[in-house]
Chains A and B, each alone.
Chain A
Amino acid sequence: MENMLPLFVVIPLGAAFVIPVLGLFRLEKAWDVVAVVATLALLAMSVIMLAGESVVVTWIGGYDPQTTGLTGIPLVSDGLSRLILLVVNGIAAAATIYSMSYIKQYTKTHLYYVLLLLMVAGMNGIVLSGDLFNIYVFVEITAIASFALVGYTLRKDALEATFKYLVLSGVATSFVLLGIALVYKETGTLNLAQIAGAVEGAEMGKTLWLAFGLILGGFSLKAAMVPFHAWLPDAHPSAPAPISAMLSGVMIKASGVYVLARIAFNVLGASYATGVLLMALGSISMLVGVLLAVGQWDFKRLLAYHSISQMGYVVLALGVGLEMMARGSTTIAYVAVFAGLFHLMNHALFKSLLFLCSGSAVYRTGSRFLKKIQGIAGPMPVTGFCTRIASLSISGVPPFNGFFSKLLITIVVVWAGHWALGLVTIAASFLTLVSFTKVQRYLVEGELAEEYATIKESPYPMIVPMVVLALLCATVGVLVPVYKDVLLGPASEVLVGGFDYTSAIFGG
């Protein structure tokens, strides 16, 4: 069990090195199979992890402080890591199966799989790492793979989006690295648990606040919080559809929101200031994202703006949780964090599904503009059906999953005493509904253009992951009581536990 943790990084990295070798011999079927088997194995492993002990720590190179007296780099799997791992690897498996057909329209597909698997390796590394600099390195691995994937089509707009994404992401990671250097200078360690110990023991100095400000700012850009969102609506739609699903569905969570949450809760502890900061970022993103989305006619761009808005919900809920922890109301804090993580999981499901549906529409029609591709639900019934389920989920219509998490977030925000923010969540939810009514009105109900009269439904490797995700969207909301003790409960406890993270790692 303990030795399984490095495999989450080793398997995708290994597969990423095997695939170019197969590419040399032009074994086209073989590299499809390797990629799919690798991601399915990761998914199976993350399900197996759920049954294991609550906290598993692996010290890389055997530098266990209890036996050797030296502190190495730990890989940590606790409730939160397990939740994000399951989400990441689940969506990665769906995207890889989908790619088997979708990516055939491009050349040199083995290189595409290499980048996809590198991205998965990077995200698994971020989620498992218990060391600040290690997180930075994995964030960069994920980012470099995603840069190349965004520009994969080499179209004019894709190249431009890649350039913008590269520069802004480079700025963000420079800030993060500067912050990490300052943290090391102040605390003399890079281990998250030890930094938390240093923060807990003494009053935080100005330098340390500056350092964490830089780090949180950098990761807010990675999570595409307004006002750091400018790169996302360009970068996410420019990538091939399965990659858009990965970027919007899991990457902004694993390399953005997850790290924000981990540092804000487990390293800085219950702090009123960070709680208010996250609440402000979250509520602004929620509103601005959805307002920008309403006027969009490009399907994928519309979805990208909604990602900003939906991540706003998650960050708002986490901020409320942090604020309530600082005030001592642990119950409200627990519910807030639970709601945030629930929405994070739901967003991964329905946003990936929407991007896969948009990819299916693009695959047959070659266009992303809603007015042009209207009515394709006629010849493509499965795509139309999945788009409808995902649209209902994201706009919060019962009994789909989005309804439950949004309701929970609204309730907990009001419960915490923030009436105005409660109104903002309801307004954003209403605008989301408006925007997706438009999507359904055109994509599902509209009149089919003559040139598309002969199109067929997409091939099975694309349909199967879409149907599976649609089924999950329809059921995970209703089934929360069944799995909450395995998945969401432990994850929320890790965050609400705050500084308990330190003792969980060092066993003290």
Chain B
Amino acid sequence: MQGYLPYILCVGLFSIGLYAIAVKKNLIKIIIGTVLMHHSTNLFLVLVGFRNPESGSPLAPVKPAPHEQISQAEFLARSVDPVPQALMLTSIVIGLSITALIVVIAIRLHEKYGTYDLTKIRKLRG
């Protein structure tokens, strides 16, 4: 059970973000919701790559320095999976650009309407 706890927390964070997007009427709160969703997914990617080795502590997936005296076999047994970490870096960059864009749009909307309240901005219908 304890092994699943990080995953459950992660999905919980994701759900909070989804809740904020679905229910909140304030643009800023909706933006916070999207950011929460994105970062919980990033967290999930890191968790997917995590491995708890049978002996010793987990290692970062970078080539060990010569003075650390770790054999290749031991390194392979103890290091975590590098692929999800690479994916997560890419996804953080994408998330950043989307957040920047969405904040700019929110500022522009505020310039036009003078409010962040979505109920007062509704010009488009169904």
Contacts and interface: CB of A to CB of B under 8 A. Distances in A.
Given A157-B123, A181-B44, A182-B48, 6 more contacts: A154-B108, A160-B124, A163-B27, A166-B101, A170-B38, A171-B37
A229 to B, nearest CB: 10
Tell me the interface secondary structure of chain B in the complex.
Answer: helix
Interface stretch (B55-63, B67-75, B87-95): B87-95
A180 B48 CA distance: 11
A93 B95 CA distance: 30
Contacts of A162: 105
Interface in A151-191: 151, 154, 156-157, 159-164, 166-167, 170-171, 174, 177-178, 180-182, 184-185, 190
Given A144-B101, A181-B44, A167 B123 contact: no
A177 B87 CA distance: 10
Given A144-B98, A163-B102, A184-B84, A177 B41 contact: yes
Interface bracket on A = 20 to 34
Contact of B98 (A160, A163, A170, A185): A170
A407 interface: no
Nearest to A134: B90
A140 interface: yes
B80 interface: no
A68 to B, nearest CB: 17
A170 B34 contact: yes
Nearest to B22: A171
A228 interface: no
A133 B94 CA distance: 12
Given A160-B123, A181-B41, A151 B105 contact: yes
A177 B39 CA distance: 11
Contacts of A185: 48
A137 interface: yes
A164 B18 CA distance: 14
Nearest to B43: A181
Interface string A48-66: 0000000000000000000
Interface string B78-114: 0000011001001100100110011001101100110
B40 to A, nearest CB: 8
A148 interface: yes
Contacts of B83: 184, 190
A111 B123 CA distance: 27
A62 to B, nearest CB: 18
Contacts of B94: 137, 140, 144
B34 A234 contact: no
A147 interface: yes
B124 A234 contact: yes
B44 A167 contact: no
Contacts of B87: 133, 180-181, 184
A162 B124 CA distance: 11
B21 A171 contact: yes
A160 B121 contact: yes
A178 B44 contact: yes
A156 B48 contact: no
A432 B124 CA distance: 23
24 contacts: A133-B87, A133-B90, A137-B94, A140-B98, A147-B98, A148-B101, A159-B105, A159-B112, A160-B109, A160-B122, A163-B27, A167-B30, A170-B98, A171-B18, A171-B34, A174-B41, A177-B45, A181-B44, A181-B48, A181-B84, A182-B48, A190-B83, A234-B124, A292-B126
A248 B43 CA distance: 34
Interface string A131-155: 0010001001000100110010010
